[in-house]
């Protein structure tokens, strides 16, 4: 993994050595899913770090490592099409596969280990974490940097490279997915990867990384993502959700995620990460993110103690 290339963009005070994760593999529906782990059997809580479009475990590991330093066991799967997961039929991957895979990982991890499980979703991974918490009931808390509901035309327009009507984008992708579903295109054709970070060099690294933002995705995947029927927030019965949205996000404005969060029928909290872009590496927001993670872990531990 090229973890050090991403870690180099952290503030200078945090440039201590990044302990590489252990690579593990999960057979799942004919593919080998790569899961990076920082194992710690003494940690009272475990966390699954979920990447979004253009990310993978290696790209997120510098942030995952900061989480692990809070005394948490961390695992981070590479979703099909990204990272080191071995995908035999890339053209057939759909967003529903990502949802099913994360739910199965949550269910299996909860079955084999009774320590509380927290989900941390970055970017598009925020809605994945939300959905897995809603569906499994096996999650103690959810943190998300973004909660973009693609059924919201304004959210879809914000996420798209071409700032056209959200309804028009959804319709176009639906048609393209039906006619050319297996055709793969660079994700940067659809999403503005230059906005991945407010640091142009980091944004370029993300966009050029063949395991991340430089990957190709099938039009059928994009269509299924945009048109996926996520659990309505008013019907959500999962764990508490904390939005840790970068305040200076040039890609996905906080307002769209906040609007979705405010509709969730469960305890919620909003923390805006000051000075942070979409990939949150800047201070003081990075320290605010660490503090919010600590607060969440403390609340989860206290809840576990009361049981």
Count of domains in the chain? 1
Residue 173's pLDDT is what?
60
- 91 lies in some domain: yes
- In terms of Cα–Cα distance, which of 302, 293, 307, 254 is closest to 277? 254
The string of pLDDT tens digits covering residues 75-133 is 999 999 999 999 999 999 999 999 999 999 999 999 999 999 999 999 999 999 999 99
- Tell whether the model's pLDDT for residue 17 goes beyond 60: no
pTM score: 0.93
CATH at 291: 3.40.50.1820
Kindly report whether the peptide bond that precedes residue 284 is cis, defined as omega within 30 degrees of 0: yes
Give the model's confidence band at 164: pLDDT under 50 very low, under 70 low, under 90 confident, else very high.
very low
The string of pLDDT tens digits covering residues 198-240 is 999 999 999 999 999 999 999 899 889 988 999 999 999 999 9
Domain span including residue 237: 3-153+231-305
- 103 lies in some domain: yes
CA dist 294 and 25 (Å) reads: 29
- 47 lies in some domain: yes
- In terms of Cα–Cα distance, which of 59, 20, 62, 25 is closest to 39? 20
- Residue 100's alpha-carbon distances to 16, 53, 104, 133, 136, in angstroms, are 36, 16, 6, 12, 10
Inter-residue contact 255 to 261 (CB < 8 Å)? no
């Amino acid at each position: 993994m090229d973890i050090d290339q991403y870690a180099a963009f952290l503030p200078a005070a945090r440039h201590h050595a990044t302990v590489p994760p252990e690579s593990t593999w999960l057979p799942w529906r004919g593919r080998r899913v790569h899961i990076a782990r920082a194992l710690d059997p003494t940690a009272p809580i475990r966390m699954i770090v979920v990447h979004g479009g253009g990310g993978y475990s290696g790209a997120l590991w510098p942030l995952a490592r900061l989480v692990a330093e809070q005394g948490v066991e961390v695992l981070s799967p590479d979703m099909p099409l990204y990272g080191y997961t071995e995908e035999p039929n890339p053209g057939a991957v759909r967003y529903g596969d990502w949802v099913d895979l994360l739910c199965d990982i949550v269910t299996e991890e909860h079955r084999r280990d009774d320590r509380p499980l927290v989900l941390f979703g970055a970017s598009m991974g925020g809605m994945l974490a939300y959905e897995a918490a809603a569906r499994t009931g096996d999650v103690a808390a959810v943190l998300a940097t973004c909660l973009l509901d693609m059924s919201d035309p304004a959210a879809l327009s914000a996420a798209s490279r071409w700032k056209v009507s959200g309804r028009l984008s959804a319709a176009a992708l639906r048609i393209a997915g039906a006619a050319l579903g297996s055709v793969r295109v660079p994700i940067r054709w659809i999403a503005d990867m230059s906005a991945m970070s407010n640091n142009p060099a980091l944004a370029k690294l993300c966009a050029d990384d063949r395991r991340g933002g430089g990957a190709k995705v099938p039009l059928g995947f994009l269509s299924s993502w945009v048109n996926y029927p996520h659990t309505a927030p008013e019907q959500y019965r999962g764990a508490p959700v904390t939005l840790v949205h970068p305040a200076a996000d040039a890609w996905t404005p906080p307002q769209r995620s906040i609007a979705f969060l405010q509709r969730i029928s469960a305890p919620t909290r909003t923390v805006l990460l000051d000075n942070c872009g979409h990939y949150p590496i800047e201070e003081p927001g990075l320290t605010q993110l660490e503090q919010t993670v600590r607060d969440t872990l403390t609340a989860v531990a206290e809840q576990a103690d009361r049981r």
